[in-house]
Amino acid sequence: AQTVTQSQPEMSVQEAETVTLSCTYDTSESNYYLFWYKQPPSRQMILVIRQEAYKQQNATENRFSVNFQKAAKSFSLKISDSQLGDTAMYFCAFVMWFGNEKLTFGTGTRLTIIP
């Protein structure tokens, strides 16, 4: 079974600064996808970014980028120029490629952006 670990329950950073959220996972599979989801106070789950395990290039989406280290099974999210609207819970998630397509989530990191 796959597991996803987020070791930082809470983080805070000043507005406009850069913050990195950590995620590690455990799997014996070689083909999979990794995601970061954002959950603001409204509790809506919003997809932030996706990384395919077979790609060495790190994914980027505007101010959001990842550092994917497949050998270390690490998948961190970097938020640059943080904004007040980035305040939310952030969940790392894993899904296998082919077959078992359910998302396995980590426990989340509560990020607060301080004005």
Are the CB atoms for 83 and 113 separated by under 8 Å?
yes
Q: Is 66 in the site for other proteins (CB under 8 A)?
A: no
Q: Is 102 in the site for other proteins (CB under 8 A)?
A: yes
Q: Is 91 in the site for other proteins (CB under 8 A)?
A: yes
Q: Nearer to other proteins by C-beta: 14 or 107?
A: 107
Using CB under 8 A, count the residues that bind other proteins.
23
Nearest to 7 by CA among 81, 76, 65, 69: 76
Q: Which stretch binds other proteins (CB under 8 A): 12-20, 60-68, 79-87, 99-107?
A: 99-107
Q: Is 97 in the site for other proteins (CB under 8 A)?
A: yes
Q: Which stretch binds other proteins (CB under 8 A): 18-26, 39-47, 54-62, 65-73?
A: 39-47
Q: Is 64 in the site for other proteins (CB under 8 A)?
A: no
Q: Output the CA torsion sign for 68, 69, 71, 73.
A: negative
Q: Tell me the C-alpha distance between 52 and 33, whole Å.
A: 5
DSSP string of 41-65, one letter each residue: TT---EEEEEEETT--SPPEETTEE
Other beta carbons within 10 Å of 102: 10
Which residues contact other proteins (rule: CB under 8 A)?
A: 33, 35, 37, 42-47, 50, 91, 93, 95, 97, 100-108
